[in-house]
């Protein structure tokens, strides 16, 4: 086991992080996790250990704690970092912009300083399709202009990308892959790990599944007057295990010393809110009540990816469709109605 390359995942106890652990172990890497459990739980790590059949080395610390983070690098021979630690709720970012800039931007600066001092210069970053702002054309490819972000969360991701581009320009020893996620949903097929938001879910899919399992009364559909086929917002939903595979492909790509690369992780297929709702009803065999509410500030009408570049350069392609996403998500939610605390 000692010849497995060690990958540090910041924010690795979160929804996407634990699914990435499964994928990285399958690809022959040894993941270790740093997480302050602000929006996650150590129960998720216990659950993922049951899937992979080994213990995950875990450091309960904050990426803003430079000294503690440096110690992790001193204690381990780290090959690359997958940087996921960030605050991620769009609405909350509008209410608390300073907190978002502090955690997301300062956290990235501190991490990269520690990496530089430890001479670990391989980095995969979790970014977001929100950096594209309101789409100027569809599907969105990596040449699409960035900026014009509709909320502080999206701006923090854009600034994190800008910081990485400037660092790379100053020192070509860095290898950085930026992954722009579209809308991850679903869960591992075992139903053992999945999305467990603290408080009221900010994202559509976990909200729908909480309505289906009886935790919430009905779904709020924000706006049915968009210029889309059924008037509701259209998004590119991607199965979280496909997304996780994207990170394994990115870590493999890092071994080729690619310099700085940016890839979209999406399916290339857009689904409306009501189409996702119907797919969920099919998976759950339940009627899911909903009401239409006014549009939310900062929401776009439609956004979906052109994911071809990731396939051409990393050999990655999303394999799972909307029915898989809903079926797997429902398996997790129905087995764990109250999340990891069930």
Residue 242 has pLDDT above 50, yes or no: yes
3-state secondary structure of 96: coil
pLDDT of residue 250: 98
pLDDT score at 342: 76
Q: What is the pTM of this model?
A: 0.97
Choose the catalytic residue: 15, 153, 207, 226: 153
Give the model's pLDDT for residue 91: 84
Q: C-alpha angle 120/125/132, rounded to 5°?
A: 150
Q: Cα 339–288–217 angle (5° rounding)?
A: 65
Asked if 212 and 287 count as a contact pair (C-beta separation under 8 A), the reply is: no
Q: In which band, very low, low, confident or very high, does the pLDDT at 312 lie, cut at 50, 70 and 90? A: very high
- Specify whether 153 is catalytic: yes
Phi, psi angles (nearest 5°) of residue 9: -110, 115
d(CA 226, CA 235): 13
pLDDT tens sequence across 57-66: 999 999 999 9
Determine the pLDDT at residue 297: 76
Residue 206 parent element (H or E) = helix 204-212
> Would you call 79 exposed, middle or buried from its count of C-beta atoms within 10 A (0-12, 13-18, 19+)?
middle
Closest CA to 140 of 238, 268, 241, 54: 268
Query: For the segment 11-40, what is each residue's pLDDT rounded down to a tens digit?
Result: 999 999 999 999 999 999 999 999 999 999
> Would you state the structure tokens that stand for residue 159, as one six-digit string?
């600034």
Q: How far is CA 114 from the centre of its chain?
A: 23
pLDDT, residue 2, reads 54
Separation between Cα atoms, residue 342 and residue 69, nearest integer Å: 32
The rounded distance, in Å, linking the Cα atoms of 81 and 28 is 15
pLDDT at site 1: 43
Contact 169, 309 (CB under 8 A): no
Tell how many helices (H) and how many strands (E) occur in the chain: 12, 14
Assign 273 a pLDDT band (cuts: 50, 70, 90): very high
- In tens, the pLDDT along 83-109 reads 999 999 888 999 999 999 999 999 999
Average pLDDT (218-241) is 97
d(CA 265, CA 318): 8
The residue among 61, 55, 181, 171 whose CA lies nearest residue 124 is 181
The pLDDT tens digits for 174-194 are: 999 999 999 999 999 999 999
């Amino acid at each position: 086991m000692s010849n497995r390359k060690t990958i540090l995942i910041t924010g690795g106890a979160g929804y996407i992080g634990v699914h990435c652990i499964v994928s990285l172990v399958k690809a022959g890497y040894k993941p270790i996790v740093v997480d302050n459990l602000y929006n996650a739980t150590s129960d998720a790590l216990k659950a993922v250990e049951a899937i992979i059949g080994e213990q995950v080395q875990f450091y309960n610390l904050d990426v803003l704690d430079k000294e503690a983070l440096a110690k992790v690098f001193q204690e381990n021979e780290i090959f690359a970092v997958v940087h996921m630690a960030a605050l991620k709720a769009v609405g909350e970012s509008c209410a608390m912009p300073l907190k978002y800039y502090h955690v997301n931007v300062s956290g990235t600066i501190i991490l990269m300083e520690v990496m530089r001092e430890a001479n670990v210069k391989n980095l995969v970053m979790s970014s977001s399709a929100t950096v594209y702002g309101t789409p100027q054309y569809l599907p969105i490819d990596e040449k699409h202009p960035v900026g014009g972000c509709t909320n502080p969360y999206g701006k923090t991701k854009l600034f994190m990308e800008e910081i990485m581009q400037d660092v790379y320009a100053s020192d070509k020893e860095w290898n950085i892959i930026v992954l722009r996620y579209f809308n991850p949903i679903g869960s591992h097929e075992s139903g053992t790990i999945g999305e467990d938001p603290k408080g009221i879910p900010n994202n559509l899919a976990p909200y729908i599944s909480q309505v289906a399992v009886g935790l919430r009364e009905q779904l709020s559909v924000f706006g049915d007057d968009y210029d889309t086929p059924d008037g509701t917002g259209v998004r590119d939903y991607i199965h979280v295990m496909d997304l996780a595979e994207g990170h394994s492909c990115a870590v493999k790509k890092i071994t080729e010393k690619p310099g700085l690369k940016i890839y979209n992780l999406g399916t290339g297929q857009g689904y409306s809110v009501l189409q996702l709702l119907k797919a969920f009803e099919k998976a759950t065999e339940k009627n899911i009540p909903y009401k239409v509410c006014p549009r939310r500030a900062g929401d776009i009408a439609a956004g979906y990816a052109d994911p071809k570049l990731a396939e051409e350069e990393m050999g990655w392609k999303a394999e799972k469709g909307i029915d898989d996403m809903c079926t797997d998500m429902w398996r997790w939610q129905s087995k764990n109605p109250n999340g990891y605390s069930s």
